[in-house]
Structure 1
Amino acid sequence: MDSEKKALRKLPHYSREKYITAFILGFLTFILCVGPILFFEEGYFIYYGDYNLQQIPFYNLVNDAVRSGQFGWNWFTDLGTDLMTSYSFYLFGSPFFWLTVFLPRAWVSYSLPFLLAIKHGVASLTAYTYIRRFVKNKNAALIGAMLYSFSGFQLFNIFFNHFHDVTAFFPLMLIAMEENINNRRRGWFALVVGLMAAINYYFFAGQAVFLVLYFLVRVPAKDFNVTWKKFLLLLLEAVVGTGLAAFIILPSALGLLGNYRITEHNYGLNFVIYDDNTTIWRIIQTFFMPSDPPAYPILFDSDYGKWASIGGYFPLFGMVGVITYMRTMKKHWATRLTVLCIIFALIPFLNSLFQMANEYYYARWFYMPILIMAMMTARSLDQEDIDFMPAVKISAAMLVVFGIISVLPDKLSDGSYIWFTMTTHTTYFYINLAIAGFSLLITGYIFDAKKRGIRTGFPAVITTTLFCAGCLCSMIYFGAATPEDAKNYIAMSADYSDKVYENVSEDNFFRSDISDNLENYNMFWELPCIRTFQSVVSPSIMEFYDSIKVMRDVGSRPDISHYTIRGLLSVKYFYREETDEYNYQELQKKKDQSESSSDFNRKFYGNGAVTELNAAVYDITEYLPGFEYIETRDGYEIYENTLYVPMGFAYDTYMTQSTADSISKTDYEKLLMKSLLLEDSDVEKYHKMLTELTKDDIKPPTKEDYTEWCKEKQAVSCSSFSFDSHGFKAEITLDKPSLVFFSVPYSTGWSARVNNNDADIAKVSHGFMAVKCDKGTSSIVFRYQTPGFKAGTLISFISLFLLISYIALSRVTGDDTDRYPFRHSYDYESTCGVAGSLYYCSAPARKKKKKKTDDEPEETRKKWRIY
């Protein structure tokens, strides 16, 4: 037995493996497909939607912050927010993002498509490594890796570039668990858990659920050598690994408290039935056909879950390999896990467990069972004597069903019928249907050739890669910007930073506003802006907008009917996109035909409800008091606010929450320019220096009142204001003691000093800050530290110490009694002809005979022969 183990250790564990091939295939497939876009867009990859409005600006904004050492408070995201807390969901913990920090600054935007290509390459590499644990044939494993890397989920989420950071490394979690249980590799699981937790806390929550399911399903398997001791040590590594990422998880968790998007849950029938009757159909369709593009459901059109990441189709093979495997291996752990995941996907409450039981529907956990399905497809390709025809028939039947649905008639109001209207983009739908149908024919040929003993390994890899490229092109060229639109995007965003009317500097702070279709362009210009498309911001911002009934879900988008907050939030300029139809000159010509200001007030405020007013089609100078047209500069009309109130100004009146509740939200919003809202706990503390504004004192405010109040606040505003990521400094001169208001979102990370004395910070007006200043000149200093960062960093260091100690102890006390003498388990007959092998197997090749030695008996060499 000892001589056998000794012989085993001499065998090349990774003989001629295709790790590099897997990476290169993934990388080149993506970069070659987007190559024409890069050529015509002069090196840029401009897509659509969130990719353009979030991914590109975020990479530029955070790069600027990191390169300048501004890690604390970020003034250029919404009204201000913590940098790490707000961007840990997007990129702050991503290794791929940190690669861009070492590039020349001008290369950052150009690097994004190459980063995506690297992510696809890494996803192929890690998926190949995992799949090879269960699939003998390297070519089959390589096919499975490409299917994972270019699955419908991956292609859908090019739109959400940062999701690929997660999917690229996820297979490492399963590899680390397998190595921990079967080969006593201590510490790796903790390191991978820490990495995944740092990359994205949202996805990490879903991964924790999936790992529990994976472990429970693997326990009965004969190739999962688990014991109670191993289970407890695995659990210990999970806890320590999570602790390693505490420096980013803890601040992020504290920053999310108060964000209503994570506090809403399912109730009643929503536990078991989806609100939208197309959801389940869309889930089924996306595994049998190339996935619909983000925001554009093609066949089952619905506003529900447009950005839910519903995707799963495998290029070329679809569900043929998965169904074949499940029919053949009904009791295999992979089959049971897949069935379990299907159940979770179809029941709302179970689906929500992958996102901390949140009520919003997302399918952003599908990449995990997709990895298992990719392994099942690869195994089906490699396994002998497997019947694939039933799976082909089922897949063909589903395509026929979708085709029939697409031509169902719709009844018009006049009683007539119209056909072929079920699809929102008919041509695109039938192109994808044709791709799926043609793929079935090729898949059938590959499986039939395998059955007849024809070697299809490398040709099948090439064919799979070509179909991956085809599905990728189908997705990206549907949504990619035209060269003209891409040029316009770059000109209006990245290239406009040197053309803004006035720049912000450390001692010259103001905010801007911008047209609603140009969200986040200000991030390129380093201009603070009240219009922001960013889901994870300070909870105080959410609280403020909720108090004035402005929807704040994934972005801050107050339309121009809310003119009061432009003064309250120190907005100085409005950048409005110039268009042929709605430009300043044309709107002025139509001004006589438009409604008067008083008509506007009656229409939009008469019943206390505000109707959205789009700045792109209305005259800003009419609806935003104080804003005057300055000039048109390279595609932007620039307006300046003559009622601009500098940051930091004093109030002499206040109102209570009960008073605010007794008036309309519209009146309350307007009165914020006149009076602070004090929390009940602060009324007693500050009421002597301020005059209370009661309900009896309130009359419906007018634009004239707003103008007067802005001028009053200009007279009692700070004479200086400077800022950086650590806080801000201001100076103000007052005729009497008062509360000085700053439209900076409240956070427990803020501390204040006035004239070198510690000062209490009052949370006012639903989310902002104020400090008491006495008569005369006051020097105000606010300092900011990320809440939870120090504690999280301490936990991370303790966890690192525990991990090092744990690994060292395992090295000292470890032995080989419960370690497998081989790395992987293959429980089937492979087409590569290596019967009963329980080891990595290379492609069949001739080996030179070696001279027998005493250490390597003949029977051992025969048993563990490597091809």
Structure 2
Amino acid sequence: MGTEQGFGIKGAEPRRGLMRDWLSLLLLQAVLALLVFWSYIDGSRYFAFLDIAADTYEIFTSHAVHLGRLLQREGWSGWSFGIGLGAPVSFMFSDAFRLLTMAGGPEHVLELRIWVYLLKLVLGGAAFFLLVRTLVERREAALLVALLYSFCGYVVINGVWDPEANPFIFFPLVLWALVRCMRSGDRIALPLSVAAALVSGIFFLTLSVSLAVAFAVLVAMSERRIETLRLLSCRAVPLIGLGFVVAAPVALPIALQQFDSPRLPNSGSLLAKIWNEGFQVLDIPLWLLQLGSFFHKDLFGSANTYRGYMNYLEGPGFWVGMLPLLVLPQLWKGDRGERRALLVALVAIALYIVVPAFRLAAFGFASPYFRSTTLWVSLPLLLLAARAFQRVFDQGVDLRLLGIGVVFVGGCLGGVAFLLPGNVVPAHVGKVAVFIAAGTLVLLFAGLGWLRGSRLASSALVLSMVEIVAVDWPSMNTWRSTVSATRQPFRDVTEPALAAIRRADSGVYRIEKTFTSVSEADAVAQDYMGVKSYYYHGSAVVDFHRNMDLMRRFPFPTPPVNYTNWLAGPDERFAVAGALAVKYVISKDVRDWPGFTLMGSGPGWYVYRNELALPLGVVHTRQVTRREVGDLRRQPPDRQRWFRDLTLFNAVVLDEPMPRWGRRWDLGGHAARGILDMPALYAQPAEQLRRTGLQLTSFKNDHLEGRIAPTEDGILVFSIPAYRGWSLRVDGQEVPLVRADFGFIAAPVTAGPHAIELRYALPGLVPGLAMGLAGLLLVAALGWRRPRRDPAASLSGA
């Protein structure tokens, strides 16, 4: 039945006609996509949500729009001041598919989103079909499971989050390449598929752990485990490493940004966390929720009505249809390899459900998400189901094994419904029960000899298509809040207010709002420089927000593990706003804030000018240390904040004193003052800082030029987070940067006028390009030489 290896069971080489089969799959995918996603395809809705999947609009849409604008205006830039106080854009380039949504320009991102999603659905199904054809010869079996995979619960629910749809494509593609490597010694497909997975935005640790899990399963399924382990270690692992090298131009800058996250030191040791939390195996309610997820997440509700684990997108979801679950026991009548594969898969799935360590290890911060790790369950289920379908199409159904499958599947559904009555949706229970009954009936007819061969395959295909529509349509169309042509929350009173500001002032400054149109990511979508942000932030900008007491407050005792993604603005703290170059504030109502004057207004909006706004760079001639500022902890919280605000206008905060570059500022003496929140206390230092500070002559996001004119030696401080990659030239000479004001870039300067040039180069990009080119050359060299087939690769179990 073909060559013997890839998954510990006899495999099959894909036959001629693969393109014809792909076209057949594409036609079936198109029919189902039209039925399930029609309201998005016809333009009634945009494929961006305002419910639990709001990141599709707040983040993924806004990032694509922002990146499109940035590329139009400046070409390539590694930095954007539209992301809070400024941040690297490497994360915006982390998903190659995102660039496709920008193909029509930033103004058409929303319209293109559904088509990019459908492209992913098609590609994922095609990749899975390619993989499953290495295991089965019967095209009907391969088409059936590939169609079920194309519309599995993971891609329909989790896949709406842009990066989460990418593992759906590349997990089966990498597995297919691994099978080719194991069987024929192919040395091209594996490194290129791994590189494509990383370039598409799959987290390198998630991919690495997923491959480790796949290796363990392959070895366990094999009859010759030592030979299989040798092949994996000596042949596959080096090629996988080569794939990481090829992906370095994208993967290396992203990895460096990830390692700069403040979540790394705050999350504790990853291994310790996995050990402490990953082996808490007696979480019975979570077991039941995972068991119920084989019947679709909608068993526990849809979108914001979901009553399962965490939320609709983070919780488990293993649905691949009822027929695959009912037919799996038929493998027990197969050969020894099939029985062993079935046992290993069931044990592995049970371990995944019971032991959280596996999925915790797949995320860099041991986050308790399920996300793409649910494919570790869906993929083996459908791969084994393909073998089972092939067996029943060729040899019929064993009624005794069918009975076992029906009792087990029905018992699991009934048990979850009985034990979690407050979580399940009765209507969905009834729907699933109908398809269990229908699948049982089809297989029963096959067992009785009434349906055989192609008639049985056609019946199974039609039933699966009906189930896909009946189950997936509500997930996309019921209880969903979406963006549309007439409902786009980013397009509100902010637009006319921004237009009024820009008509009056063509300079470079930051703007803040007293409200959020959608989220802290408003500036990215609405095209202005702000302070508030929703992004994967670095340690420096979080350090500033934390020390200035600007962190977002959460309505629960323990903030989420990713709490540093949300950074708040200064609100009415005029001194902080001024120090951060926030020159204008947009409000929906009248404000009487000290230091702000009304600049303009319109229907539903008011614009206030901050009279204390400083330029992006100022020169301080006095300094205090972080330790001195830290001593303010003895003061009441409100006074602590005002002392810090006052400090930003009067001195630079340094980790260690630099007496050559300024006098000490007596913070303790000022702490004895009574009232600190009067703008008059800040007016004189603000005027001095503006007069001697940075006057921009040229501005691009990654390249600033201007002049300063300090009257004394001091420290030039930019309100720019101290990410790696910045370099400063003063009068043409490069000057080392230091860190100041809890997380900003700074440098010592002498008295007198100076020309300033500040540049940003994305860390890791240049070495990544060199590594990627070297990796591609090595792949090309490997392609010139035909591999020598290893006899062990064709042994059973290899």
* TM-score bin, normalised by smaller chain: 0.7 to 0.9
2:782 corresponds to 1:780: no
The 3 A distance-change label for structure 1 pair 208 and 44 is closer
Mapping for residues 209-358 of structure 1, pairs under 5 Å:
209-219=209-219, 221=222, 226=228, 228=230, 231-263=233-265, 264=267, 265=270, 266-267=272-273, 269-273=276-280, 278-291=285-298, 296=304, 298-300=306-308, 304=310, 307-317=313-323, 319-322=325-328, 331-333=339-341, 335-356=343-364, 358=366
**Contact 2:707/2:754 (<8 A) preserved:** yes
* SS of the residue 1:645 aligns to: coil
When the two structures are superposed, what TM-score results if normalisation uses the length of structure 1? 0.77
Q: Does 1:190 align with 2:204?
A: no
In the TM superposition, residue 331 of structure 1 has moved relative to its aligned partner by 4.3
C-alpha distance 331-741 of structure 1, shift in aligned 2 (>3 A)? same
1:744 match: 720
**2:22 corresponds to which residue?**
19
By how many angstroms is 1:113 displaced?
Answer: 0.7
In the alignment, which of 791, 795, 820 is matched to residue 771 of structure 2? 795
Structure 1 partner of 2:546: 546
Three-state SS of the structure 1 residue aligned to 2:214 is helix
Match of 1:613 in 2: none
User: Does the Cα contact within 8 Å between 2:735 and 2:747 map onto a contact in 1?
Assistant: yes
- Distance (Å, rounded) in 2 between the aligned partners of 1:23 and 1:496: 46
- What is the distance in 1 between the residues matched to 2:716 and 2:123? 53
How do residues 636-651 of structure 1 correspond to structure 2 at under 5 angstroms?
636-651=605-620
2-side partners of 1:208 and 1:708: how far apart?
Answer: 56
Shift of 1:677: 5.1
Contact 1:567 1:710 in 2 (8 A): no
Instruction: State the TM-score, normalizing by the size of structure 2.
Output: 0.84
What is aligned with 1:381?
Answer: 389
The residue number in structure 2 matching 1:111 is 112
Aligned equivalent of 1:566, options 572, 577, 584: 577
Distance verdict in 2 for CA 1:559–1:395, change over 3 Å? farther
Distance across 2 between alignment mates of 1:24 and 1:223: 41
- 1:348-747 aligned at under 5 Å gives the runs 348-356=356-364, 358-384=366-392, 385-386=397-398, 387-405=401-419, 407=421, 422-423=422-423, 429-453=425-449, 454=451, 455-481=455-481, 487-489=487-489, 491-492=491-492, 499=499, 501-502=501-502, 508-513=508-513, 515-519=515-519, 520-534=521-535, 536-549=536-549, 550-551=551-552, 552-558=563-569, 560=571, 564-576=575-587, 578=588, 583-584=589-590, 621-622=591-592, 624-628=593-597, 633=602, 636-664=605-633, 666-667=641-642, 669-676=644-651, 678-681=653-656, 683=657, 685-686=658-659, 688-699=661-672, 702=675, 704-705=677-678, 708-709=681-682, 712-717=685-690, 718=693, 720-721=695-696, 722-747=698-723
Residues 1:166 and 1:230: Cα distance change in structure 2 (over 3 Å): closer
Is 2:59 the counterpart of 1:54? Answer: yes
Distance 2:367 2:39 in 1: 41
Tell me what 1:77 maps to.
83
Structure 1 range deviating more: 393-402 or 633-642: 633-642
> Secondary structure of the residue that 1:373 maps to in structure 2?
helix
How far did residue 803 of structure 1 move? 1.9
Identical columns (%): 15
Question: What is aligned with 1:167?
Answer: 168
Q: Which has the higher helix share?
A: 2
In 2, Cα distance between equivalents of 1:66 and 1:556: 25
Which has the higher mean CA deviation after the structures are superposed, 449-458 or 271-280? 271-280
CA drift at 1:179: 0.6
Could you tell me how far apart the structure 1 residues matched to 2:240 and 2:69 are? 34
User: How many Å apart are 1:490 and its aligned residue?
Assistant: 6.1
Change in 2 beyond 3 A, CA 1:231/1:271: closer
- Report the Cα distance in structure 2 between the residues aligned to 1:710 and 1:327, rounded to whole angstroms: 86
Q: Which deviates more from structure 2 when the two are superposed, residues 760-769 or residues 322-331?
A: 322-331
Residue pair 1:745, 1:769 contacting (<8 A) in 2 also: yes
Structure 2 partner of 1:603 = none
Deviation at 1:749, TM superposition (A): 0.9
What letter is aligned with 2:761? Q
Please identify, of 775-784 and 500-509, the stretch whose mean Cα deviation from structure 2 is larger.
500-509
Cα drift, residue 656 of structure 1: 1.1
SS in 2 for 1:779: strand
The alignment partner of 2:564 has SS state of coil
Go from structure 1 to structure 2 and tell me whether the alpha carbon gap of 1:636 and 1:697 turns closer, same or farther (over 3 Å shift).
Answer: closer
Distance 1:567 1:713 in 2: 8
Letter in 1 for 2:771: I
Q: CA deviation at 1:630?
A: 5.1
- Could you tell me how far 1:573 is from its partner in structure 2? 2.9
Paired position in structure 1 for 2:142: 141
For the residues of structure 1 that align with 2:687 and 2:301, how far apart are their CA atoms? 49
**Structure 1 counterpart of 2:468, one-letter code:** C
Say which SS state the counterpart of residue 666 (structure 1) adopts.
helix
Q: Say whether the 8 Å CA contact 2:509–2:616 is kept in structure 1.
A: yes
Distance 1:121 1:774, change over 3 A: same
Which residue type is aligned with residue 445 of structure 1?
A: L
Aligned-partner Cα distance in 2 for 1:23–1:237:
31
For the Cα contact (< 8 Å) 1:324–1:390, is it kept in 2? no
| Pairwise CA distance, 1:282 | 2.5
**In 1, Cα distance between equivalents of 2:380 and 2:503:** 52
1:811-830 aligned at under 5 Å gives the runs 811=786, 814=788
AA at the equivalent of 1:34: F
Shift of 1:183: 1.7
User: Shift in Å at residue 38 of structure 1?
Assistant: 5.0
Q: Secondary structure at the match of 1:560?
A: coil
- Structure 2 residue 103 is matched with structure 1 residue 98: no
1:342 is aligned with what amino acid? A
Q: CA 1:737/1:826 → structure 2, altered by over 3 Å: closer, same or farther?
A: closer
Contact 1:250 1:792 in 2 (8 A): yes
- The alpha-carbon deviation at position 193 of structure 1 amounts to 1.1
Would the aligned equivalents of 1:119 and 1:164 in 2 still touch at CA under 8 Å? yes
Deviation at 1:742, TM superposition (A): 1.1
In the alignment, the residues of structure 2 paired with residue 470 and residue 497 of structure 1 have an alpha-carbon distance, to the nearest angstrom, of 46
Shift of 1:701: 7.5
Aligned partners of 2:103 and 2:673: how far apart in 1?
56
Contact 2:49-2:57 at 8 Å conserved across structures: yes
Equivalent pair of 2:708/2:754 in contact (CA under 8 Å): yes
- Contact 1:128–1:145 (Cα < 8 Å) also in 2: yes
Matched positions, count: 743
CA RMSD of aligned residues (A): 3.6
3-state SS, counterpart of residue 585 of structure 2: strand
Distance 1:804 1:676 in 2: 58
Evaluate the alpha carbon distance shift between residue 489 and residue 155 of structure 1 in structure 2; reply closer, same or farther with a 3 A threshold: same
Q: CA separation of 1:513/1:494 partners in 2, compared to 1, >3 Å: closer, same or farther?
A: closer
Instruction: Tell me the CA shift for residue 281 of structure 1.
Output: 3.2
2: CA distance, partners of 1:767 / 1:377: 55
The AA in structure 2 aligned to 1:555 is: W
Corresponding residue SS for 2:709: strand
Change (3 A) 1:638 1:339: farther
Residues 164, 444 of structure 1: alpha-carbon distance in 2 compared, 3 angstrom cutoff: same
> Which residue number corresponds to residue 745 of structure 2?
769
State the secondary structure of the residue aligned to 1:431.
Answer: helix
What SS does the corresponding residue of 1:25 show, helix, strand or coil?
helix
Any conservation in 2 of the 1:655–1:675 contact (CA below 8 Å)?
Answer: no
What do residues 509-528 of structure 1 show as CA deviations (whole Å, max 9, x unaligned)? 32333523522233233211
Instruction: Report deviation, 1:533.
Output: 1.8
For 2:560, the equivalent position in structure 1 comes to: none
User: What is the distance in 2 between the residues matched to 1:289 and 1:466?
Assistant: 15
Distance in 1 separating the partners of 2:797 and 2:144: 18
Does the C-alpha gap of structure 1 residues 635 and 826 become closer, same or farther in structure 2, counting only changes over 3 Å? farther
Stretches of structure 1 that go unaligned for 5 or more consecutive residues are: 1-8, 408-421, 585-620, 828-867
| Partner SS, residue 469 of structure 1 | helix
- Structure 1 residue identity aligned to 2:664: T
Letter of the 1:128 partner, please give it.
F
Find the counterpart in structure 1 of residue 9 from structure 2: none
**1:35 partner letter:** W
